Chains A and B, each alone.
Chain A
Amino acid sequence: MKTETLLDHKAEIIKITQETGVNLNIKTFRYRFLDEEIRKNFTFRPGQFMMVTIDGIGEAPFGFASSPTQKDYIELSVKNVGLVTNAIHNLKVGDIIGVRGPYGNGFPVEETIGKNIVFIGGGIGLAPLRSLINYVLDEEKRKQFGNVQLLNAFRSPDDLIFKYDYDKWENSPDTIVKYTIDEPCEKWDYCVGFPHTLLKDELNCELQNTKYFTCGPPIMIKFVTEELKNLNIDPADIITTLEMRMSCGVGKCGKCNIGHYYVCKDGPVFTLEQLGEMPDEY
Chain B
Amino acid sequence: MEAYYKEITDKIQKIAYKLLDEGKVDKIIGFGKGEFTDEVTPVFIVNKENVDKLLFSEKATPFLAKYLLNYKDEKVAITAKPCETRAINSYLSENLLQRENLIIIGINGCRGIEGNTACKECDVRNPVISDYTVGEELSDEEVSSMITNVYEDLENMNPEERNEYFQNEFERCTRCYACREACPVCYCEECFTDSNQPFWLDSSTQLKDTFTFHLMRSIHMAGRCINCGACEMACPENIDVRALSAKMYRAGEEIFDYKPGMDPEQKTLLAEYDVNDQEKGFLD
Contacts and interface: CB of A to CB of B under 8 A. Distances in A.
A278 interface: no
B276 interface: no
A92 B199 CA distance: 23
B203 to A, nearest CB: 10
Nearest to B199: A83
B197 interface: yes
A82 B196 CA distance: 8
Nearest to B196: A83
Contacts of B197: 82-83, 86
Interface string B77-104: 0000000000000000000000000000
A253 to B, nearest CB: 15
Contacts of B196: 82-83
Interface residues on B, range: under 10
Contacts of B199: 83
Interface in B190-226: 196-197, 199
Nearest to A58: B196
A83 B197 CA distance: 7
The B interface, classified by DSSP as helix, strand, loop or mixed, is loop
A86 B197 CA distance: 10
Interface in A56-100: 82-83, 86
A83 B196 CA distance: 7
Nearest to A84: B196
A83 B195 CA distance: 10
Interface in A223-244: none
B200 to A, nearest CB: 13
Contacts of A82: 196-197
Interface in A118-148: none
B49 to A, nearest CB: 34
Nearest to B197: A83
A6 to B, nearest CB: 17
A1 B196 CA distance: 37
A245 to B, nearest CB: 13
Interface in B131-183: none
B64 to A, nearest CB: 30
Interface in B21-67: none
A190 to B, nearest CB: 36
A86 B199 CA distance: 13
A274 to B, nearest CB: 32
Interface string A20-40: 000000000000000000000
A83 B199 CA distance: 9
A19 B199 CA distance: 28
Nearest to A83: B196
A150 B199 CA distance: 41
A83 B194 CA distance: 12
A82 B199 CA distance: 11
Contacts of A86: 197
B206 to A, nearest CB: 16
A167 B12 CA distance: 78
Nearest to B195: A83
A84 B197 CA distance: 11
Contacts of A83: 196-197, 199
A215 to B, nearest CB: 26
A86 B198 CA distance: 12
A86 B196 CA distance: 11
6 contacts: A82-B196, A82-B197, A83-B196, A83-B197, A83-B199, A86-B197
The 6 closest A-B pairs by CB, nearest first: A83-B196, A83-B197, A82-B196, A82-B197, A83-B199, A86-B197
